[in-house]
Structure 1
Amino acid sequence: MSAPFQTTEGRTRAPIERIGATVLNDLVQSIVAGELSSGDVMPPESVLSTQFGVSRTVIRESMKRLQEKGMVTVAQGRGTHVNPSTSWNVLDPLVLSTMIGNDSTLGVLDDLSIVRGALEAEMAASAASAAGPDDHARLRDSLAAMSERIDDSAGFREADVRFHIAVMELSDNTLAENIARVLIAHAVGSNRYTGVDPEHAFEITLGEHERIIEAIETGDVEAARSAMSAHILGSWERRRLPSERRK
């Protein structure tokens, strides 16, 4: 880890990595928030360097990172253009967390729940076709851990995530698991995604998890798929905050 270095006046200055991260965060925020729109030409390096009070090297590196995230296209002699959101790497942690943070209509979280539901439904179906007695016992243990923490909101949510991860691992679908883990990791930290739980929400969740386990234990692929999809989409709909829904 780089240590802060001293200026000639003896003041401590943040390391270059931290300065660059701050600039990158601000640029991603500007693009996601629409301050810089698709097709816009980014200001030249000299302007951004003055605006942020950093060297052109920092700006150049930040542009490289934006391009890696699919947010801009750097064209020699024609400047740097902002890309449409369809080109962004939405599984990039910074891009996804910024999109969620700016999700005033909850449209991003609606889409996230749909994608997560589809992925985890397929993984639950795969688990139903492949899981054995030891795997079933693992799921039962995960459910018991949730039940023991029903009066502890944070503990219950942590145990809930562990249950879902257990199902993912039993599916042996590494690609789907990796994508779902990214979606979960950056959604659960958002107050918008946590929303407001209705009365007896945790009891409802336990019942839905029970149905998922029963389907996996009996090897009922379609029931496992349906139960997981209904749980994820239903849970999101129950706790979804009131908002202006997208048209």
Structure 2
Amino acid sequence: MSTGRSAGAVPRTPIDRIGAAVLHQFVEMIVTGEVGPGDMLPPEAQLAQEFGVSRTVVRETMKRLQEKGMVTVAQGRGTHVNPMLTWNLLDPLVLQTLIGHDDTLGILDELSVVRGALEAAMAAATAARRDDDGLSRLRESLQLMRDSMDDSAAFREADVQFHVAVMELSGNTLAESLARVLFERALESNRYHGIDPERAFELTMREHELVLAAIEAGDTEAARAAMDHHILGSWERRRLPTNKRG
């Protein structure tokens, strides 16, 4: 199968273009259990024929899957699928695919718990190191939310700005980086947005006000509790009822 490259074209890595689609297919196959932990993948030549791509594309795809912790490539012994415990769950493609195939919303439940813990810790840190500039930034974000109650898109954007401000003001770069990955992948999923209950924006505003009040007071534990309550509570409110556990 031709990759569309002419003899005089600037070389591109095989994972580009066609390779990206093949990689996505393999990630989906592993996430959905079409191929399970311990399963051996067919030889390179067979995969190339089945997917209609070159052996180079297959080889590069296996390398990418191995980087994501999804397979182990053993020279002379083939390639086998790894259990989920070894996957890089913060990898954008892996996490996005998990969320996309999460019929029970269990991954989003876990994501919300982890995100809540991270942002709660950052809210506590922000309360401990608050200053006038930081407080002014948070108040401005909260006012933007207040002013856009009748504009859902603007309200949600201001909401995100408030959370980003808390994260950046915390000074915890690692927690911020992890929380941002989780948040960004979640926002890409319609399931995460769910269904807003009645008075959703009013409830969200009140929860943000409590977070800010705790930060203004320098009360680290109150800030931690308020942020965790907000993130978990807002997820439970909008969680799709048709997919409830149990």
Q: In structure 2, what is the equivalent of residue 107 of structure 1?
A: 106
Q: In structure 2, what is the equivalent of residue 11 of structure 1?
A: none
Q: CA deviation at 1:159?
A: 1.3
Letter in 2 for 1:51: E
Q: CA deviation at 1:242?
A: 2.0
2 CA distance for matches of 1:82 and 1:116? 28
What is the SS of the residue equivalent to 2:231?
helix
Q: CA deviation at 1:30?
A: 0.5
Distance 1:55 1:86, change over 3 A: same
Render the CA deviation track for 1:140-173: whole Å, top value 9, x for unaligned: 0001111222222222112111110100011100
1 CA distance for matches of 2:181 and 2:229? 21
What TM-score does the superposition give when structure 2 sets the normalisation length? 0.93
Q: In structure 1, what is the equivalent of residue 135 of structure 2?
A: 136
2 CA distance for matches of 1:58 and 1:89? 22
CA contact (8 A) 1:49 1:55 kept: yes
2 CA distance for matches of 1:244 and 1:181? 25
Q: In structure 1, what is the equivalent of residue 153 of structure 2?
A: 154
CA contact (8 A) 1:106 1:243 kept: no
Q: CA deviation at 1:15?
A: 8.8
Letter in 2 for 1:230: H
Q: In structure 2, what is the equivalent of residue 10 of structure 1?
A: none
- Where do residues 23-102 of structure 1 align in structure 2 (5 Å cutoff)? 23-102=22-101
1 CA distance for matches of 2:32 and 2:245? 16
Distance 1:15 1:67, change over 3 A: closer
2 CA distance for matches of 1:105 and 1:50? 35
2 CA distance for matches of 1:181 and 1:121? 14
Letter in 2 for 1:217: E
- Where do residues 187-206 of structure 1 align in structure 2 (5 Å cutoff)? 187-206=186-205
Q: Which moved more, 1:80-89 or 1:144-153?
A: 144-153
2 CA distance for matches of 1:236 and 1:181? 17
Q: CA deviation at 1:23?
A: 0.4
- Where do residues 12-23 of structure 1 align in structure 2 (5 Å cutoff)? 16=14, 17-23=16-22
Where structure 1 has 5 or more consecutive residues not aligned to the other structure, the ranges are: 8-13
Letter in 2 for 1:81: H
What is the percentage of aligned positions where both structures have the same residue? 64
Please give the root-mean-square deviation of Cα atoms over the aligned residues, in Å. Answer: 1.7
May I ask how many residue pairs the two structures share in their alignment?
A: 239
1 CA distance for matches of 2:151 and 2:47? 47
Is 1:118 paired with 2:117?
yes
